[in-house]
Amino acid sequence: MYFLCTGNSCRSQMAEGFAKDILGSDWEVRSAGVEVHGVNPLAIKVMNEVGIDISHNTSKLIDTDYLNQCSIVVTLCGDAKDKCPVTPSSVKRIHWPLKDPNQASGNEMERLIVFREVRDQIKQNISDLAKNIK
């Protein structure tokens, strides 16, 4: 399973963390971006709040070899959906249009609220997906 977003800094990193936790070792899970922005410290912080450590993750570009052998590819923003390379018909593509927490304004507490909302939506989406693929 591959989670893709623009910079592989927030949404896809959180999705990778939840998918590894929820799906377990039966699934190979990775994340990547169409660009590399580094893992956002606020994404690390809100994932730590729910007991998932993504602090050792790195921001990566899309690996087309891995992409083409995946059973499921999930895009988490319109940019990734539009720029994702063509995949074989065997790859199930899913799109979750999530808001970008990097765009949140205000002080850190106000921005953390947005990061938590997106985190919780990602967890729900992965939990729902897990029910359909297990």
Residues annotated catalytic, as ranges: 5, 77, 84
The strand pairing partners of 31, in sequence order, are 3
The number of angstroms, rounded, from the C-alpha of 83 to the middle of its chain's C-alpha atoms is 16
Cα Dmax for the chain: 44
Q: What are phi and psi of 19, to 5 degrees?
A: -65, -40
d(CA 55, CA 48): 9
Three-state secondary-structure class, residue 30: strand
